[in-house]
Amino acid sequence: MVLPAAVFTAALFLLPVGILLSEGFKVGGEWTLAGYADFFSKPLNRTVFFRTLKLGLLVALVSAIVGYASAFCIVNLEPKQRGRIFGLVILPLMISPVARTYAWIVILGRTGIVNDAIVGLGLSDTPIRFLFTETAVFLGLLQLFMPLMIISLISSMENLPKDVIPAARVLGASWLQVFTRVILPLTREGLVLGGTLVFTGALTAYITPAILGGSKVLMLETLLYQKVNVSNDFVSAGIIATILIVMCFGANVVLRRIAKA
C-alpha cells in the first residue's frame, strides 16, 4: 500500500533531483570537485553564499526572539481569545507568498508609505532606497516565516507542565532566570523545530529575494535561477542545488539531534 507513494516520489522526485545534483560533480564529463573550487573562487558566488547563510540565521534568530515574546503572551491569554489569535498567526501561511511579498513594495517603494513619511517629515529631501537592499529582503523573509516559529513555540509552551513558572518564581527566580532555567530548556524542542523551519524556509525562499532583492541582493535561489536562465550554467546550478540541500538536510538532522540530546 505504501508502494505507490514511495515509487511515485522516488521516480519523479528523487531520481531527477539526484541526477541534477550529480551535475555539479561533473565537469566536461569527468567526475571531479573542480566545479566546486571554481564556484567558490568567484567573489560573487561567495558573497551570495554567505549572504544567504547570514540572512537565514538572522531571520531565525529574530523570529526566535520575537516568537518567544509573542508566544508567551498568546499562551497566557484565555482559551477563546487564544484560539482567535492563533488563527490570525497561521492566516498568513495560507496566503500566497507573492501577495505577502508584494505588500512590501507598497510599503518600502520610492512612493511607499515609509518614504512618504520620511519626505513628509522632512527627514530627507529625496526618497531613500529601501527596495533591493538586504534590509528589505530580511523584512520580507521575517514576515514570511515568523509564523512558523510562533506556532511551534506556542505548541511547546502549551505542553509546559502546569504551574512550573509560578513555582520557579516562588523559589526565587527572576524573570530572566525563569526564562533561561525553566522556559528555555522545556521548550527547546519547539525552538529547534521552529528554527529549522524558519532557517530552511529562508534559505530556499525564491519570491522574496526575487521581488525585494532583485539582482542587487542575490541569494542562492535567485542565483540559481540566473545561472540557469541567463547563462545556461548547469554545473553551477547543480552545485547551488547541492549546497542548498546539504544546508537544509544538515539543519534538519543536526538541530533535531540537538533537540533530542
Partner 1 sequence: MGKTWASRLIIFTTLLFLIGPFFIIIFAGLSAGSSLSFPPQGLSLKWYLAVFEVESFRQSFTLSMFLAVCGTLCALIIGVPAAYAICRYKIPGAETIKLIVAAPIIVPGIIVGLALLRYLVVPLNFTVTLALFLAHTALVLPYAVRVVSASLENLRTDIEEAAVLLGCTRLQAFSKVVLPNIRSGILAAFILGFVTSFNQVPVSLFLSGPGVRTLPIDMLDYMEITYDPSVAALSALLAFLSMGIVFIAEKTLGFSRYV
Ranges within 70-89 binding partner 1 (CB under 8 A)? 70, 72-74, 76-77, 83, 85-89
Examine residue 241 and tell whether it contacts partner 1 (CB under 8 A).
Answer: yes
**If 0-12 CB within 10 Å is exposed, 13-18 middle and 19+ buried, where does residue 192 land?**
buried
Examine residue 109 and tell whether it contacts partner 1 (CB under 8 A).
Answer: yes
From CA 260, how far away is CA 71, in angstroms rounded?
Answer: 22
Contact with partner 1 (CB under 8 A) among 37, 99, 184, 254: 99
Examine residue 50 and tell whether it contacts partner 1 (CB under 8 A).
Answer: no
Tell me which residues in 179-218 interact with partner 1 (CB under 8 A): 200, 203-204, 206-207, 210-211
- The helix or strand, by DSSP H or E, that contains position 236, with its residue range, turns out to be helix 234-260
Examine residue 245 and tell whether it contacts partner 1 (CB under 8 A).
Answer: yes
**If 0-12 CB within 10 Å is exposed, 13-18 middle and 19+ buried, where does residue 111 land?**
exposed
Examine residue 249 and tell whether it contacts partner 1 (CB under 8 A).
Answer: yes
Angle of helix 220-229 relative to helix 43-75, nearest 10 degrees, comes to 140
Cα 63–chain centre separation: 9
Contact with partner 1 (CB under 8 A) among 104, 130, 138, 199: 104
Examine residue 143 and tell whether it contacts partner 1 (CB under 8 A).
Answer: yes
Examine residue 221 and tell whether it contacts partner 1 (CB under 8 A).
Answer: yes
Q: How far is the CB of 150 from partner 1 (least distance, A)?
A: 7
Angle of helix 188-204 relative to helix 220-229, nearest 10 degrees, comes to 30
Instruction: Output the CA–CA distances (angstroms, integers) from residue 109 to 115, 116, 120, 209, 219, in the order listed.
Output: 7, 9, 15, 15, 20
**Closer CB to partner 1, 43 or 79, in the complex:** 79
**Closer CB to partner 1, 72 or 132, in the complex:** 72
Contact with partner 1 (CB under 8 A) among 24, 56, 147, 213: 147
Give the number of residues in contact with partner 1, rule: CB under 8 A: 77
Cα 156–chain centre separation: 20
Contact with partner 1 (CB under 8 A) among 27, 57, 107, 118: 107
Tell me which residues in 7-46 interact with partner 1 (CB under 8 A): 8-10, 12-17, 19-20
From CA 24, how far away is CA 237, in angstroms rounded?
Answer: 7
